[in-house]
Structure formats: C-alpha cells, structure tokens
Amino acid sequence: MKLKVCGMKYQDNIEAVASLQPDFLGFIFHEESPRHFEEAIPDLPKSIHKVGVFVDKTVEFIANQIEKHKLSAIQLHGHESPEMCRILKSTNAKVVKVFSIKDTFDFTVLEPYEQVCDYFLFDTKGKLPGGNGYTFNWDVLTDYPSTKPFFLSGGIGLEQKEKLKEFINSEASEYCFAIDVNSKFEIEAGLKNIEALKEFKKQCHFE
C-alpha cells in the first residue's frame, strides 16, 4: 500500500515530510483552499511523486502547472468531464479523478471515466472539495465494480489506524492502491505534524 500526504504548503515542512519518504506529495492549486500552494516546489527525492490538486480549472491552467512544477500526477476534485480527463491524459501526468462518498454511492458514474483516468480517488462528501476531516463509510467499497486502482481519502488519522488495518485486510481493499492523508495530521492548515506522520507510517506498515 502506498502513502500520499496531501495539502503541502510550507517549504521547510515539505522537506521534513519528504524525509519520511511518502510515495506521493499533494499540492493544492485552488485559491479557496487554506492549503492553496503558490510557491516553487523544493527539490524532492525522485521516489516521491508530485501531485497537483485542481478544482474545475481549465486544461490550459492545469497543463501550465504540470510543466512548471514537473507534476507526476494531477488530481481532479471538481466537475471535470470525461473529455477533459481524456485531453489531460495526453500529458505526461497520470490522471486521478475524485469522487465523493458519504453513506452510499452510485458506481455507474465511474463508467465514463474508466478509459480516461489512471486512478480514482474516493473522498468524503462534505462542504469542501477535500480536507473535511472525517471518513465516509468504507463498507460501500465492498461493491466496487472496477479493477482500476484507487486512492482512499477522507479524514484518515492515527485514530483510524485499527479501522484502516481492518480495511486493508478486507475484500473492499483489493484495488486500493494508496492511502491519502491530510487534515488529520496538521498543526494548522498546510503544516503537517511530522511525528504523527512518522508514527502513522510505522504503525500501518506502508511499503
């Protein structure tokens, strides 16, 4: 199982989190987010993939950010169409399309995206497009009809470690590619708690 730490903002903190060697670091290019990233991404180990997070941005804006920051992947958190995903898939970045879940989910909405995305990401439905700080009902994923790998996100913190271990050992996690953490590991928006992340990584035995 891979680990993604999202909502990175401050240079020194980015470098400190990178020293823990997560597989992915997420940078949010959304002005309304308290974790909005506007700086240059510092040099990172080649093993860490840089993910740009976007909400209803234009293809041109996203393509510019891919080029500017040398992003490995883009995470689309808005109402991006399958056609837009298809166009963005022609870049060098992997395409991650986000879908929000609470207690139920209509998996048929995934079908138009199957051929135009590299990954899905399942997050908690809330007031904000991510970073809401609470989990959804992971049992919903027992009915996941696809073989496309997905990221599990939404309010995951140290207090979920036992629940997470149960999920990882269940059938629902068969195609779970990575765990995505953010707000539950923050001292303030965008500033990650290094010791808590270190403990989480150790307890959950990430590769």
Q: What tens digit of pLDDT does each residue of 7-28 get?
A: 999 999 999 999 999 999 999 9
How far from chain centre, in Å, is Cα 23? 11
Nearest residue to 81 via CA among 107, 106, 58: 58
Is residue 121 a contact partner of residue 97, using CB atoms and an 8 Å limit?
Answer: yes
The neighbouring-strand residues paired with 4 are: 24, 180
User: What is the model's pTM?
Assistant: 0.95
Q: What is the mean predicted confidence (pLDDT) over 45-55?
A: 97
CATH number of the domain where residue 98 is located: 3.20.20.70
| pLDDT class of 126 with cuts at 50, 70, 90 | low
| pLDDT class of 55 with cuts at 50, 70, 90 | very high
pLDDT at site 133: 58
| Residue ranges making up the domain that contains 195 | 2-203
Q: What tens digit of pLDDT does each residue of 76-120 get?
A: 999 999 999 999 999 989 999 999 998 899 999 999 999 999 999
d(CA 197, CA 188): 14
Question: What percent of the chain is predicted at pLDDT more than 90?
Answer: 89
Residue 131 has pLDDT above 60, yes or no: no
The DSSP secondary-structure symbol of 58 reads -
- The number of domains in the chain is 1
CA 162 → CA 25, 50, 115, 133, 168, distances in Å? 24, 28, 34, 17, 10
pLDDT at site 206: 78
Name 195's Cβ contacts closer than 8 Å, sequence gap at least 6. Answer: none
